[in-house]
């Protein structure tokens, strides 16, 4: 169900960003900011939805409900990245698609996991901080990809994947801590 | 062991559990993509699908890594893992109670239980059952791919490269197209029919004989075309004289020596002269200038009619005509002279069957032959 819901949402998010980029015709920096702002807005909306659910149910929202919302946002970004790569491949059908799988696709996933950490921290300041970090990370790697040789891009791609796994592990550990807290302080 | 220690111990268990799950999920992801890759290669061989579709689908399959990482995340809670390591709900009861008195009562037993579990390998690594099925799927896909490759491309797909495979398929397609466009069948048929018409053996076969043969063939066809019983009746009605007629005609034909003749010559109209004028009659005719040479089987032909004589006479013609430009003596457009040439070279016409086939038996014989050569040298 989450996947089915995330599929149109992610595609819609992607075309919304493309619409904005096409309307303003900005530089690469502006485009990166649009993309990161869209993802940031998505996670903020999810956090607000969790808070609104908590207020409506007049009880503390359970961890697995929070994680479900978080999972929805993560899958939206996954669909966003896949849609971008597929359209890129349709426009430029070369083997460079696999380079994107190592490079640009993990960038989206890593930024999404950073926003997930902000979501789990539950503080607005963390969200803003992660937005800045994500924008700089995305912009920096985009510039690097234009300057690095192909081998360098692939090497960075592997580093990106390692970073992805580390971030994923960090999110899971955060969830464990929350889970322990939930068990330790039964309602 | 205080509250923090118990919390750290539980976190240790959870991390171990998650590590096992993560490793299994990554293995699942790799196996699934391997299976997809081989299945896509198989589809490419069978359906000759494009590289674009192959890479698009394989890319989509590779992009599913986050699903393997994220899905099921919402169901992982401490309670579930605690239940997996708990005995008699001891730890869970300890965690669930809000009473400090109950906790202090259970604390000693919980500590000893967790210390024992920590020393054991609580979550040893083992493959998920789904991964075993996926390994089976990969092996099946591999065998299927190789079988399809062997049947279709007559070779194993060892490099596992879609590009190489596509190149092979294109080469095979181009080869098949070229073979299909080869006019081998038609040429051999045309050649055989032409040689049938123009064939003249060393013994020779004149026009009459060919005409007679055509008539015989026609009659045979008529016979064969009739009802079987009717044809049998017709054969039965033939008299012994009818049956002897054909060998006699053949004997006469063989007596003529060079049996091909130019159309429109005297011999064409006078059957007697085709056999020459033996003895005195021939000499008489020769003296009269009616024949070319007395006693020759070429009697009844003009000098010009023999191509060899004409060819050998060319130097004499050049010497006689001086600087006059040589020109064909006859009208080549009429094509009459070609009969001689066709007859002369008819023996060289070899009927060959150039039909190109791809027989696996021949391939296996060739391969075995090459193997034997290798063994020998």
Query: Higher confidence at residue B39 or residue B373?
Result: B39
Cα A4 from Cα A6, distance rounded (Å): 6
Cα B161 from Cα B44, distance rounded (Å): 11
Tell me which residue of A107, A116, A95 sits closest to A161, measured CA to CA: A107
DSSP secondary structure code for residue B347 in this structure: G
* Closest CA–CA distance from residue A183 to any residue of chain B (Å): 6
Q: Is residue B83 less than 8 Å (CB to CB) from chain A? A: no
Q: What is the SS3 assignment for A104-121?
A: HHHHHHHHHHHHHHHHHH
**B322 located within any domain:** no
The pLDDT of residue A80 is 93
The pLDDT of residue B158 is 64
Lowest mean pLDDT among A36-45, A78-87, B8-17, B176-185: B176-185
Tell me which residue of A108, A138, A101 sits closest to A43, measured CA to CA: A108
Interface test with chain A among B22, B59, B97, by most A beta carbons within 10 Å: B59
Q: Do B78 and A78 touch (CB under 8 A)?
A: no
Both ends of chain A: CA-CA distance in Å? 28
Facing A97 at nearest CB: one of B59, B71, B82 = B59
Residue B78 scores a pLDDT above 50: yes
**B36 located within any domain:** yes
Q: Is residue B63 less than 8 Å (CB to CB) from chain A? A: yes
For residue B123, give the 3-state DSSP assignment. Answer: coil
Facing B69 at nearest CB: one of A68, A168, A179 = A168
Tell me which residue of B81, B105, B100 sits closest to B92, measured CA to CA: B81
pLDDT band at B361 (very low <50, low <70, confident <90, very high): confident
Residue A120 scores a pLDDT above 90: no
* Residue B87 exposed, middle or buried by CB count within 10 Å (0-12, 13-18, 19+): exposed
Residue B294 scores a pLDDT above 70: no
Q: Do A179 and B76 touch (CB under 8 A)?
A: yes
Report, as an integer, the average pLDDT of A106-117: 92
Interface test with chain A among B29, B53, B66, B84, by most A beta carbons within 10 Å: B66
The pLDDT of residue B286 is 47
* Closest CA–CA distance from residue B63 to any residue of chain A (Å): 7
All residues of chain B having their beta carbon less than 8 Å from the beta carbon of residue A64 are: 74-75, 77
Hey, which of B68-72, B84-88, B205-209 has the most confident mean pLDDT?
A: B68-72
Q: Do B66 and A74 touch (CB under 8 A)?
A: yes
Question: Which residues have C-beta within 8 Å of that of residue B222, sequence separation ≥ 6?
Answer: none
DSSP secondary structure code for residue B324 in this structure: P
DSSP B18-64: HHHHHHHHHHHHHHHHHHHHHHHHHHHHHH---HHHHHHHHHHHHTT
Helices and strands (DSSP H and E) totals, chain B: 19, 0
Q: Yes or no: say if B317 and B140 are a contact pair by the CB < 8 Å rule.
A: no
Report, as an integer, the average pLDDT of B251-263: 43
The pLDDT of residue B201 is 46
All residues of chain B having their beta carbon less than 8 Å from the beta carbon of residue A109 are: 66
Q: Is residue A45 less than 8 Å (CB to CB) from chain B? A: no
Question: Which residues have C-beta within 8 Å of that of residue B216, sequence separation ≥ 6?
Answer: B246
All residues of chain B having their beta carbon less than 8 Å from the beta carbon of residue A180 are: 7, 10-11, 14, 78
The pLDDT of residue B110 is 82
Q: How many residues does chain A have?
A: 187
Q: Which pLDDT tens digit goes with each residue over B141-154?
A: 999 988 888 888 77
Give me the number of domains chain B comprises.
1
By residue range, what is the domain housing residue A75? 2-184
Question: Which residues have C-beta within 8 Å of that of residue B62, sequence separation ≥ 6?
Answer: A98, A101, B33
pLDDT band at B272 (very low <50, low <70, confident <90, very high): very low
**B92 located within any domain:** yes
* Closest CA–CA distance from residue A166 to any residue of chain B (Å): 12
pLDDT band at A146 (very low <50, low <70, confident <90, very high): confident
Lowest mean pLDDT among A11-15, A123-127, A133-137: A123-127
Q: What percent of chain B has pLDDT over 90?
A: 9
Q: Yes or no: say if A107 and A141 are a contact pair by the CB < 8 Å rule.
A: yes
Query: Higher confidence at residue B102 or residue A107?
Result: A107
Query: Higher confidence at residue B61 or residue B85?
Result: B61
* Closest CA–CA distance from residue A145 to any residue of chain B (Å): 20
Instruction: Tell me how many degrees the CA angle A28-A34-A37 measures, rounded to the nearest 5.
Output: 140
Report, as an integer, the average pLDDT of B208-219: 56
Q: Do B77 and A179 touch (CB under 8 A)?
A: yes
DSSP chain A: -HHHHHHHHHHHHHHHHHHHHHHH---HHHHHHHHHHHHHHHHHHHHHHHHHHHHHHTSPPPHHHHHHHHHHHHHHHHHHHHHHHHHHHHHS-STHHHHHHHTHHHHHHHHHHHHHHHHHHT-HHHHHHHHHHHHHHHHHHHHHHHHS-HHHHHHHHHHHHHHHHHHHHHHHHHHHHHHHHHHHS--
Residue B139 scores a pLDDT above 90: yes
Q: Report how far Cα B240 is from the mean position of its chain's Cα atoms.
A: 54
Name the token pair of B60: 């989509």
Report, as an integer, the average pLDDT of B104-124: 80
Torsion of CA A174, A179, A184, B1, to 10 degrees: -60
Report, as an integer, the average pLDDT of A55-62: 64
DSSP B159-220: S--HHHHHHHHHHHHHHHHHHHH--HHHHHHHHHHHHHHH---TT---HHHHHHHHHHHHHH
Q: What percent of chain A has pLDDT over 70?
A: 92
The pLDDT of residue B222 is 55
Residue B187 scores a pLDDT above 70: no
Report, as an integer, the average pLDDT of B124-146: 89
**B33 located within any domain:** yes
Q: Do B95 and A186 touch (CB under 8 A)?
A: yes
Lowest mean pLDDT among A20-34, B334-348, B362-376: B334-348
**B10 located within any domain:** yes
Residue A72 scores a pLDDT above 80: yes
Q: Do A186 and B96 touch (CB under 8 A)?
A: yes
Q: Do B67 and A176 touch (CB under 8 A)?
A: no
By residue range, what is the domain housing residue B102? 3-181
Cα B181 from Cα A145, distance rounded (Å): 50
**B139 located within any domain:** yes
Give me the number of domains chain A comprises.
1
Task: Give B 319-358 residues with CB within 8 A of chain A.
Answer: none
Hey, which of A174-178, B36-40, B183-187, B370-374 has the most confident mean pLDDT?
A: B36-40
Facing B78 at nearest CB: one of A85, A168, A176 = A176
**B149 located within any domain:** yes
H-helix segments, B238-299: 240-255, 266-269, 271-274, 279-288
Facing B74 at nearest CB: one of A67, A82, A89 = A67
Interface test with chain A among B73, B79, B89, by most A beta carbons within 10 Å: B73
Facing A85 at nearest CB: one of B14, B52, B59 = B59
* Residue A160 exposed, middle or buried by CB count within 10 Å (0-12, 13-18, 19+): buried
**B295 located within any domain:** no
Residue B113 scores a pLDDT above 50: yes
Interface test with chain B among A63, A84, A176, by most B beta carbons within 10 Å: A176
Task: Give A 125-184 residues with CB within 8 A of chain B.
Answer: 168-169, 172-173, 175-177, 179-180, 182-184
Mean pLDDT of chain A: 85
All residues of chain B having their beta carbon less than 8 Å from the beta carbon of residue A93 are: 52, 55
Q: Which pLDDT tens digit goes with each residue over A2-50?
A: 778 888 988 999 999 888 888 887 788 888 899 999 999 999 998 888 8
* Closest CA–CA distance from residue A120 to any residue of chain B (Å): 13
Residue A179 scores a pLDDT above 90: no
The pLDDT of residue A56 is 66
Facing A186 at nearest CB: one of B3, B66, B98 = B98
The pLDDT of residue B209 is 56
Report, as an integer, the average pLDDT of B16-32: 89
Residue B22 scores a pLDDT above 80: yes
Name the token pair of B102: 């109950």
Q: Is residue A55 less than 8 Å (CB to CB) from chain B? A: no
Both ends of chain B: CA-CA distance in Å? 79
The pLDDT of residue A108 is 92
Query: Higher confidence at residue B377 or residue B149?
Result: B149
Report, as an integer, the average pLDDT of B240-252: 49
């Amino acid at each position: 169900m989450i996947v089915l819901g995330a599929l149109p949402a992610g595609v819609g998010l992607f075309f919304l960003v493309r619409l904005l980029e096409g309307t303003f015709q900005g530089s690469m920096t502006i485009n990166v900011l649009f993309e990161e702002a869209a993802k940031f807005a998505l996670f903020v909306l999810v956090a607000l939805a969790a808070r609104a659910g908590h207020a409506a149910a007049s009880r503390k929202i359970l961890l697995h409900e929070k994680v479900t919302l978080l999972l929805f946002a993560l899958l939206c970004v996954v669909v966003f990245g896949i849609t971008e790569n597929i359209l890129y491949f349709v426009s430029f059908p070369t083997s460079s698609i696999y380079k994107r799988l190592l490079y640009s696709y993990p960038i989206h996933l890593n930024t999404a996991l950073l926003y997930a950490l902000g979501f789990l921290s539950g503080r607005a300041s963390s969200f803003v901080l992660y937005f800045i970090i994500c924008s700089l990370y995305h912009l920096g790697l985009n510039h690097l990809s234009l300057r690095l040789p192909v081998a360098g891009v692939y090497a960075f791609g592997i580093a990106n994947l390692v970073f992805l796994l580390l971030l994923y592990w960090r999110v899971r550990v955060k969830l464990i801590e929350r889970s322990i807290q939930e068990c330790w302080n039964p309602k | 062991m205080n509250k923090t220690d118990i919390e750290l111990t539980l976190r240790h268990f959870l991390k171990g559990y998650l590590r096992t799950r993560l490793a299994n999920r990554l293995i699942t992801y790799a196996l699934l993509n391997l299976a997809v890759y081989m299945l896509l290669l198989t589809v490419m061989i069978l359906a000759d699908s494009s590289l674009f579709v192959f890479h698009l689908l394989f890319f989509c399959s590779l992009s599913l890594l986050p699903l393997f990482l994220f899905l099921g995340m919402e169901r992982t809670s401490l309670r579930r893992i605690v239940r997996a390591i708990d005995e008699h709900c001891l730890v869970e009861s300890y965690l669930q109670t809000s009473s400090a008195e109950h906790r202090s009562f259970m604390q000693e037993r919980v500590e000893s239980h967790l210390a024992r579990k920590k020393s054991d390998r609580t979550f040893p690594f083992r493959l998920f059952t789904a991964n075993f099925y996926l390994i089976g799927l990969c092996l099946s896909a591999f065998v299927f791919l190789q079988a399809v490759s062997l049947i279709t491309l007559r070779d194993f797909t060892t490099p596992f490269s879609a590009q190489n495979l596509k190149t092979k398929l294109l080469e095979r397609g181009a080869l098949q197209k070229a073979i299909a466009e080869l006019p081998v069948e038609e040429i051999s048929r045309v050649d055989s029919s032409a040689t049938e018409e123009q064939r003249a053996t060393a013994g020779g076969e004149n026009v009459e004989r060919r005409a007679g043969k055509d008539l015989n063939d026609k009659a045979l066809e008529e016979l064969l075309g009739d009802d079987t019983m009717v044809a049998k009746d017709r054969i039965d009605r033939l008299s012994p004289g009818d049956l002897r007629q054909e060998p006699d005609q053949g004997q006469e034909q063989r007596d003529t020596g060079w049996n091909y003749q130019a159309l429109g010559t005297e011999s064409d109209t006078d059957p007697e002269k085709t056999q020459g004028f033996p003895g005195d009659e021939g000499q008489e005719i020769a003296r009269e200038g009616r024949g070319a040479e007395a006693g020759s089987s070429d009697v009844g032909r003009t000098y010009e009619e023999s191509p060899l004589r004409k060819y050998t006479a060319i130097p004499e013609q050049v010497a006689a005509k001086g600087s006059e430009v040589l020109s064909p003596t006859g009208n080549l457009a009429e094509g009459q002279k070609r009969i001689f040439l066709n007859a002369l070279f008819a023996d060289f016409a070899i009927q060959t069957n150039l039909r190109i086939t791809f027989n696996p038996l021949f391939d296996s014989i060739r391969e075995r032959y090459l193997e034997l050569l290798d063994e020998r040298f």
